[in-house]
Amino acid sequence: MNRLKNYAVILASGKGNRYKNPVPKQFEKIAGKTILEHTIEIFENSDKIDNIIIVITPEYEEFIKKLVNGGATRKESSSIGIHSIEEDEANVIIHDCAMPFLSQEIINNCIEALKTYKAVDVAIPSTDTIIEVDDNFIKNVPDRSHLMNGQTPQCFKLSLIKRAYDLSKNDSNFTNDCGLILKYGLDKVYVVEGDVKNMKITYPSDIYVADRLFQMKNIEYSEDLPLKGLKGKVIVIFGGTSGVGECTASLAKKFGANVYVTSRRSGCDVSEYCDVENFLKKVHEETGRTDYVINTAGTLKIGKLTERKIDDIIEDININYLGSINVAKASIPYLKESKGSVQLYTSSSYTRGRTMYSIYSSTKAGIVNLVQALSEELSDQNVRINVINPERTATLMRNNAFGEEPKGSLLEPEKVAEASLKILLTNLTGQVIDVRRR
């Protein structure tokens, strides 16, 4: 039996009456991209989605080239998107473009649920007390244990949702797609658990919240990714003679990769652009290609800013931050040829500076911003760049800074190495990838 295709229908026709801004909210920019672009990217990054349909009103054509003309209402737009699908049967995932934080986990769970159910909604438990009001007086306080806050996507078998829209052609009393299924008694609607981060941008103030969320946005890698794809790949690792870099090199070799390792100990200082450039050139002359470049070089020194020498501070910045810039810049010409990727490293301290190691924390925040910006700059050159964000890891560098810590409280560097290599084999770019002990 052939697998049903999964169609994402992104609704982007809304006029945003509550948003009250000359620019429709779906075209407002957050973190360098429009809200619509962020939402499209979510489905582009899904290996479960076969086709993406964007439904938008003709008056917004100036903002986007490939589209399906949308309707005047959400119902009309949904109907247009659904009826544009030519298959007799398919899975339809309808999503509001103003919700740009949808996770791959929710998409996967919805598609999995569609194997059993014909209609699937996404919701989270209600944490607020809901009151029913009549003429400014409370009429009823429903039992919160039976209430959930609805989100999107709403997902259906194509034949079922088409039937619902055919029945409701003359029905203007519309709430949402799942509501139609229930109203006409067509089927039950199964609920998949959503996420509080899957927020909808409705008011101008939501833009500021969303911007902060994008700054800290990160993902967790799939542990099911096989490493056999590394066979024959050329990998260059800076800072690869100890810690995470050394573990990464060892694991990559086990899976057949051609690994070239260097570090300051072996004569290559990442804070010196010429050192980085020369090593990459040497590898390329020997192999004829470079598929992946990893920079694990770093330094962590403890001390109050007022008590540290300026030369020592500059060295930290040069190794931790300038070093990442040097590696990224020098790698690009080679990775354009191979359509490869750069991988840098941050720390959990990037979200908020840590006392006694302010320089380290701030350079790690800078690396995240660097990766997010470069992913956009390099998108048309087929070069990917991501940043690994490991939990506190048992490395010599950390031990030298903090001394012995409780056994089991730190992440093993081998796990960081495994995650690092798996991310190289994905199409992800511009992402912060969390690696945790669990």
Check residue 34 and give its pLDDT.
Answer: 85
Nearest in space to 191 (alpha carbons), one of 181, 199, 200, 183: 181
* pLDDT of 83 strictly over 90: no
Instruction: Pull the structure tokens for residue 305.
Output: 């800013």
- Of all residues in the chain, what percent carry a pLDDT higher than 70? 91
Report residue 276's pLDDT band, with 50, 70 and 90 as the boundaries.
Answer: very high
Cα separation, 346 vs 332, in Å, equals 20
What number of CA atoms fall less than 13 Å from residue 327's CA on the CB side? 33
Cα separation, 153 vs 39, in Å, equals 11
Long-range contacts: 398-404, Cβ < 8 Å, 24+? Answer: 398/300, 400/300, 401/300, 401/301, 401/302, 401/357, 402/302
Neighbours of 12 (CB within 10 A): 28
User: What's the Cα-to-Cα distance from 394 to each of 242, 245, 354, 413, rounded to whole Å?
Assistant: 12, 13, 19, 6
Report DSSP state, residue 29: E
Check residue 209 and give its pLDDT.
Answer: 86
Cα separation, 217 vs 240, in Å, equals 28
Q: Pick 209 or 80 by higher pLDDT.
A: 209
Report residue 66's pLDDT band, with 50, 70 and 90 as the boundaries.
Answer: very low
For residue 24, whether the previous peptide bond is cis, meaning omega lies within 30 degrees of 0, is no
User: 206 and 212 in contact (C-beta within 8 Å)?
Assistant: no
User: 175 and 93 in contact (C-beta within 8 Å)?
Assistant: no
Check residue 404 and give its pLDDT.
Answer: 86
* pLDDT of 288 strictly over 70: yes
Report residue 61's pLDDT band, with 50, 70 and 90 as the boundaries.
Answer: low
* pLDDT of 64 strictly over 70: no
User: 272 and 314 in contact (C-beta within 8 Å)?
Assistant: no
Nearest in space to 203 (alpha carbons), one of 17, 74, 12, 13: 17
Write out pLDDT tens, residues 175-218. 689 999 999 999 999 999 999 999 999 888 888 888 878 766 76
